[in-house]
Amino acid sequence: VKNFGGTMRLGRNDTHFIEGSKPALAYGSTVVSERHRHRYEFSNVYRTEYEKSGMVIAGLTPDGELVESLEWPEHGWGVGVQFHPEFKSRPVAPHPLFAAFIKASLEYGKKRA
């Protein structure tokens, strides 16, 4: 591991979602600002392989360099994000991604009943 110092992404950063993506629909917007606190990145070396396998790159940084969100459409509401939605979620005001996940889970449960 190299360049260990200074790699922390900390604070609020914008994410640009593709139109019609699950996160964009959950937020009701294609551009959001969310809090980050991590040293991790999606490796663009594997981006093409992920897309070929059915994953959708749903969100990017404004410069298009970093993947912020992925979708796995073949698995219901399979969504992953780099930021921390739990930082903005409250018991009476759940984060839009959590609310959308719960809604999708309830709908899935009704279909199986």
Does pLDDT of 1 surpass 50? no
Q: Is the pLDDT confidence value at 7 over 80?
A: no
| Confidence band of 109 (pLDDT split at 50, 70, 90) | very high
Residues 6+ apart with CB under 8 A from 109: none
Listed residue (66, 71, 55, 62) closest to 21, CA to CA: 71
Indicate the average pLDDT of the chain. Answer: 92
Domain segments of the chain as ranges: 9-112
Mean pLDDT of 26-36: 97
Beta-bridge partners for 59: 17, 69
Cα(42)–Cα(7) distance, integer angstroms: 13
Percent of the chain with pLDDT over 90: 79
H or E element that contains 48? helix 47-52
pLDDT of 39 reads 84
Q: What is the CATH number of domain 9-112?
A: 3.40.50.880
